[in-house]
Structure 1
């Protein structure tokens, strides 16, 4: 995390930089004063020499800080127009750190249809520690108001949601949060800062599973948080240091390398995503298609307002609407790989009900639309003709 005396310099250097430039240079000044390395070096060390007790060059032990991780944290902050970034061993470790801000008796309002791992962490871990979660349909933001009590401390938003691609108006929810003196946290994994900037829309915390689009190559597991408020950053840094759920220098380096091509990859993800979504919508063996770029998609007008594109994540159900039909499609794909995760250069297909969202009870899953016939696609950066051809043969 940025130290206090770095704050003013960091902000001043980031203000005028455009996004594509930030992916290459954001937050990366003076990363190697010793030898002038163009790329951030991998500081594969657990500890650092001290000239006198307590006298060091900014780093003492790699749980509390490591130069490679620090470079990643500064990059994350720059991309999200934040002031403080923190990197963790996974996206769930980042969420875990946020939840440790609260105490037994506190209540959190969360998006109803969210990632299964987030739901599992909320209900199987933190509910047992005395924190209460209320899962709310946020497509209409005013639904939130009736669930706010004196014990409510935070609103947790995921938009677009995983896997139903529902869109939540971040600016509108921010007004509700500020009126009621609540924190607003946004999981920005699907959109990435290339498409959406929650802090600019009023959020207090942005979370990323950097495993996905930020890393971009399906070869690393990392999580990140970005905030603007210094006191909030200090609390999160203390939790990071005390709990130790950090990412290592090699993982930090891999995500930094991935970020440098984020803008180029996202352009292709968006282009291919649109082509695949339109193909699926016109196919006779496909039922519903969930992609925010369609005019009839719920809250399309909100997506158009708060996002600069609609991304490469798509969900769809088979026309037969059965587990067997969905299984047959994903098992017959050749270019798309049947696998967990998303956001890599390669195209992936998943079956949420039995994979990413299996930890959510079936009855609860189906209330949000995660039925057995639902398939989720992470559209990669291959040639769109090959992707569409693969879906054509699998559906046919």
Structure 2
């Protein structure tokens, strides 16, 4: 099956569901059995058998198989949120006293998880680097380094890491690798095919696409996903509800078409902004002005709708006036939905990170992150043009 055919038909099993073109929601907490022997047999492999929805559920399992197929992984496990997937994946590869290498512009809550929770609870030390060259990674490897955590493109400034080089280095030192691939999605970047151990997504973003669900997923080899299922997923209880899984199933059918529109709109708007006199710079890996443009072309085959730009002003009142006067860009923290959003990352980072770490992130109060939705791009450009007149 080609990609779009797979997203519509793979693992649907309509004959088993009385021909229903949309698979049913198994909105139940437990599954009953007709005999002692049948439930006893189910417990032989709860990873594939439905016993209790906290562990396995047919609606959830259908979507997990489809996502694993999309990403080129052997197996996938859905979670209640992106952060639940992130923390579970990280914990899976760590033990007390380990060392982690990650990038300084990693997602804020992930940064906090490394910098505070793991440090305080597990004596795990984390080294934050730019990640823009392989030497950064190698010189920071220690005897107790067990994990390299990537996010390419990164949060806020959208810098890239050379995934194939990092994987080769990690294998040389027997270090595990995880990547948050939410920005690119499997349509535009396939980290598992480059040798990454675990790929993580916030399904609240493009997998959902309609700003109406919260979920996360880990994808990888079945041996790792099975182990996560029996440990982190089971012990921490971060299960996704069947209804949220069903919503993801709905969204997967249109995801490739949505991603094309997000990409086209964002490139048009990025090009407009980088030629505007009141914009200092635009941070979009798909623009030729981006410092790592060639690396992006090498390891991605497209670009999503999220990027940042910096207003050429440090006047907070004028910056606020720009944001507040936008008509089609709503102010909000998430992204990847049908609607266009704008947000100043400095607002949350200043509350989440130590001041010194914030200063090293390369963002300012004038750095604006925009999620370009599915609206007509001419309307969005006109909206930005009018708002920029207030600066």
Q: TM-score normalized by structure 1?
A: 0.92
The match for 1:71 among 32, 40, 62 is 62
Q: What is the CA deviation profile of residues 253-300 of structure 1, one whole-angstrom value per residue up to 9, with x for unaligned ones?
A: 111111111100000001000010011001111111101112231211
Q: What is the CA deviation profile of residues 347-370 of structure 1, one whole-angstrom value per residue up to 9, with x for unaligned ones?
A: 010110113664122331231212
Q: What is the CA deviation profile of residues 318-366 of structure 1, one whole-angstrom value per residue up to 9, with x for unaligned ones?
A: 1113433332221111101001100001101011011366412233123
- Compute the RMSD of aligned alpha carbons: 1.6
2:389 is the alignment partner of 1:371: no
2:4 is the alignment partner of 1:20: yes
- Name the counterpart of 2:22: 39
Q: Secondary structure at the match of 1:232?
A: helix
Q: What is the CA deviation profile of residues 128-159 of structure 1, one whole-angstrom value per residue up to 9, with x for unaligned ones?
A: 12222111111112210011111111110001
Q: Secondary structure at the match of 2:146?
A: strand
Q: Secondary structure at the match of 1:55?
A: helix
1:179-198 alignment, distance < 5 Å: 179-198=172-191
Q: What is the CA deviation profile of residues 184-238 of structure 1, one whole-angstrom value per residue up to 9, with x for unaligned ones?
A: 111000111111111011111000000001100000000000002x321221111
Unaligned runs of 5+ in 2: 43-48
- Name the counterpart of 2:105: 113
2:162 is the alignment partner of 1:169: yes
Cα distance in structure 2, aligned partners of 1:199 and 1:265 = 23
Cα distance in structure 1, aligned partners of 2:188 and 2:282 = 21
2:309 is the alignment partner of 1:316: yes
Q: 1:25 to 1:127 in 2, by over 3 A?
A: farther
Q: Secondary structure at the match of 2:35?
A: coil
The match for 1:157 among 145, 150, 156 is 150
> Residues 113 and 164 of structure 1 are in contact (CA less than 8 Å); yes or no, is this contact kept in structure 2?
yes
- Name the counterpart of 2:46: none
- Name the counterpart of 1:14: none
Aligned residues: 378
1:1-396 alignment, distance < 5 Å: 17-26=1-10, 28-30=11-13, 33-53=16-36, 55-56=38-39, 58-101=49-92, 102-129=94-121, 130-228=123-221, 230-238=222-230, 239-355=232-348, 358-396=351-389
Q: 1:29 to 1:330 in 2, by over 3 A?
A: same
Cα distance in structure 2, aligned partners of 1:261 and 1:358 = 36
Cα distance in structure 1, aligned partners of 2:182 and 2:211 = 14
Cα distance in structure 2, aligned partners of 1:149 and 1:262 = 41
Cα distance in structure 1, aligned partners of 2:295 and 2:112 = 28
**Cα displacement (A) at 1:307:** 0.8
Cα distance in structure 2, aligned partners of 1:334 and 1:298 = 31
Q: TM-score normalized by structure 2?
A: 0.93
Cα distance in structure 2, aligned partners of 1:394 and 1:19 = 40
Cα distance in structure 2, aligned partners of 1:324 and 1:191 = 34
The worse-fitting range, judged by mean Cα deviation, of 344-353 and 134-143 is 134-143
Q: Secondary structure at the match of 1:118?
A: helix
> Residues 349 and 358 of structure 2 are in contact (CA less than 8 Å); yes or no, is this contact kept in structure 1?
no
Q: 1:231 to 1:357 in 2, by over 3 A?
A: farther
Cα distance in structure 2, aligned partners of 1:284 and 1:165 = 22
Q: Secondary structure at the match of 1:155?
A: strand
Cα distance in structure 1, aligned partners of 2:70 and 2:315 = 41
> Residues 158 and 307 of structure 2 are in contact (CA less than 8 Å); yes or no, is this contact kept in structure 1?
yes
Cα distance in structure 1, aligned partners of 2:20 and 2:255 = 21
